[in-house]
Amino acid sequence: MDNKRIHVFDTTLRDGEQSPGASLTPKEKCEIARQLERLNVDVIEAGFPASSGGEIEAIQGVSRGVRKPVICGLARAIRSDIDAARKALRYAKRRRIHVFLATSQIHREYKLRKGKGEVLALAERHIKYAKKFFDDIQFSPEDASRTEPDFLLEMVETAIAAGATTINIPDTVGYAIPQEFGRLIRLLIERIPVLGKDVTLAVHCHNDLGLATANSLEAVRSGANQVECTINGIGERAGNASLEEIVMAIDTRQDLFGACTNVKLNEIVKASRLVSMMTGIPVQPNKAIVGRNAFSHEAGIHQDGVLKKRQTYEIIDPKCIGLSGSQLVLGKHSGRHAFKERLKKLGYDLKPADMEKTFKRFKVLADQKKEVYDEDIEALLEDELSKVPETWILDYLAVNIATDRAPEATVRLRKKGKKYEAIAKGDGPVDACYKAIEKITKMKVDLRDYSLKAVSRGEDALGEVGVKVLGAGREVTGRAANTDIIQASVNAYMQAINKLCSKSVKRRSFSELRLV
Ligand code: KIV
Ligand code: ZN
């Protein structure tokens, strides 16, 4: 049997834009709408035309720039709102008006101050008015999930009789629980059998209890054939149901839903990033489907499993939503398997002994850093490869820095088992360390060049120090990386000093280790 087709109504540009601080310019709306078209959503709710002249222009821009999906505008059951929607949607190739009116007791009494009869009449009158200009009319009884079921049924029947072609059931305040919401959808279909057939039955869920996706999915299982959602789940308060979660759940659990959408899955990540960038609302790292960590594995056991067979710890292939693949994050929980794989990916094939040594250094680094990036590993390797015989070994280092006096370094070095210590002041902490080393080694060296750069990202990034020194007529370099830049500076300097001490320094080349 064919899968049942679920229509995707995207309201990122209307309910999503109602997220605090998410206002979009007409140009930004247009750009997002074009991505929604590439994503192949069925309907784009482009805004609320009555809210401003600028909003009307923005919706006109979207209508001109996007031709495939239906473009929709929201309107209260007020004539001027419907007229504003007519104006805003004038250029749309396919257009829909979305009329809404609150139906729950609390909204009727406190917000509208109207009785049931008046509310029914208002809806009927305005849907009929809209029908003069629009064939495609969606009606939403706002706060439907908190409306008395009998009155909701009466309202839905009235709306259909007046000309509504889609009935949308909003869980406006995110109050519903999946079982109860599903029951409501089944009741509506049982009493009004055209719903979900000749008249589209939509649901619009908010996330106040974190149940927006669950409620939408239960509604689909119960017979709804349109879901309303936003990219990244942005929207009023805790947001709307998230498009990517609903679409991927329907796709991943076809066995359960027997349904499909027309969404192009490989455009999901692009849509998520664009919306986040344009609205300035970051996506939480652990957000399902589009969060930075959604396909990242750090635990050694998981990494090992994913490397053996991706599906052991992943239910979705990240490539199908537009990512390049899963990510094995190297950190303190990572094991040898993942580390070795990463080295291979970076182009290195180490001999077992080298591999063991580098892995140990990686573990030490991972204890200092939250995440070990590829650049960190390259720096570790470079460090390892640049090893020279150690005439002088750093035994102890302490630096005293205060605002009212010059920095002072205490350095202890070992040579042939004997320890030597010196204290020196300098222009800066690094200079103080270098002077103390000079005092001990009694080597006359001239620091020709010093460079410091961050080799990876984050505040705990590795600092890479490069030095060039001249001594005994020879110019040598030293390089070291460490999360502590003073330590890296000293290590780089010690490497250069040791090069000067050793007669022939044979540096293994990177290419020796690169995979061909
Ligand atoms: O949440 C809601 O009830 C709405 C309506 C306008 C559909 O956004
Ligand atoms: Zn809403």
181-208: per-residue pLDDT in tens? 999 999 999 999 999 999 999 999 999 9
Which residue in 224, 247, 109, 115 sits closest to 170, CA to CA?
A: 224
- Summarised one tens digit per residue, pLDDT across range 215-234 is 999 999 999 999 999 999 99
Ligand 1 within 6 A of 140 CB? yes
- Summarised one tens digit per residue, pLDDT across range 307-319 is 999 999 999 999 9
Residue 124 has a pLDDT of 98
The string over 311-328, giving b where at least 16 C-beta atoms fall within 10 Å of a residue's C-beta and e elsewhere, is eebbebebeebbbeebbb
- Summarised one tens digit per residue, pLDDT across range 157-183 is 999 999 999 999 999 999 999 999 999
Distance CA(214)–CA(229), nearest Å, equals 12
Residue bearing tokens 């460490």: 482
Residue 504 has a pLDDT of 45
- What are the tokens at 167? 């009935």
Sheet containing 393-402, strands listed edge to edge, beginning at the edge strand earlier in sequence? 393-402, 405-415, 418-425
Residue 510 has a pLDDT of 42
Residue 351 has a pLDDT of 86
- What are the tokens at 135? 């064939």
- Summarised one tens digit per residue, pLDDT across range 29-67 is 999 999 999 999 999 999 999 999 999 999 999 999 999
Query: Helices 352-368 and 374-385, interaxial angle, to 10°?
Result: 130
Confidence of residue 479 (pLDDT cuts 50, 70, 90): confident
Distance CA(465)–CA(433), nearest Å, equals 14
Confidence of residue 505 (pLDDT cuts 50, 70, 90): very low
User: How many other C-beta atoms lie within 10 A of the C-beta of residue 176?
Assistant: 29
pTM to 2 decimal places: 0.77
Ligand 1: residue whose CA is nearest its atom 1:
172
Ligand 1: residue whose CA is nearest its atom 6:
100
Confidence of residue 19 (pLDDT cuts 50, 70, 90): very high
Ligand 1 within 6 A of 48 CB? no
Please determine, for residue 439, whether its predicted confidence score (pLDDT) is greater than 50. yes
Residue bearing tokens 């250094």: 361
Distance CA(455)–CA(285), nearest Å, equals 23
- What are the tokens at 368? 């200092």
Residue bearing tokens 């290195």: 348
Query: Which amino acid would we find at residue 86?
Result: R
Ligand 1 within 6 A of 129 CB? no
Average pLDDT over residues 271-300: 94
Pick the CATH number of 4-279 from 3.40.50.300, 3.20.20.70, 3.30.1380.10, 3.40.50.970: 3.20.20.70
CB 265 within 8 A of CB 328: no
User: Residue 463: helix, strand or coil by DSSP?
Assistant: strand
DSSP 208-225: TTS-HHHHHHHHHHHT--
Please determine, for residue 496, whether its predicted confidence score (pLDDT) is greater than 60. yes
- Degrees, nearest 5: CA angle 167-172-177: 95
Ligand 1 within 6 A of 15 CB? yes
Ligand 1 within 6 A of 104 CB? no
Ligand 1 within 6 A of 435 CB? no
- Summarised one tens digit per residue, pLDDT across range 332-378 is 999 999 999 998 887 788 889 888 989 999 999 899 888 888 878 87
Q: Which CATH superfamily is domain 393-508 in?
A: Alpha-isopropylmalate synthase LeuA, regulatory domain (3.30.160.270)
What are the distances in angstroms from CA 382 to CA 345, 438, 478, 507? 16, 25, 11, 10
Strand partners, 410: 398, 423
- What are the tokens at 344? 């291979």
Ligand 1: residue whose CA is nearest its atom 4:
172
Ligand 1: residue whose CA is nearest its atom 3:
172
Query: Helices 336-346 and 352-368, interaxial angle, to 10°?
Result: 110
Confidence of residue 458 (pLDDT cuts 50, 70, 90): confident
Residue 507 has a pLDDT of 41
Residue 513 has a pLDDT of 44
16 CA from centroid of ligand 1 (Å): 11
Where along the chain do its domains lie?
A: 4-279, 296-385, 393-508
CB 233 within 8 A of CB 9: no
Where is average pLDDT lowest: 284-293, 433-442, 444-453? 444-453
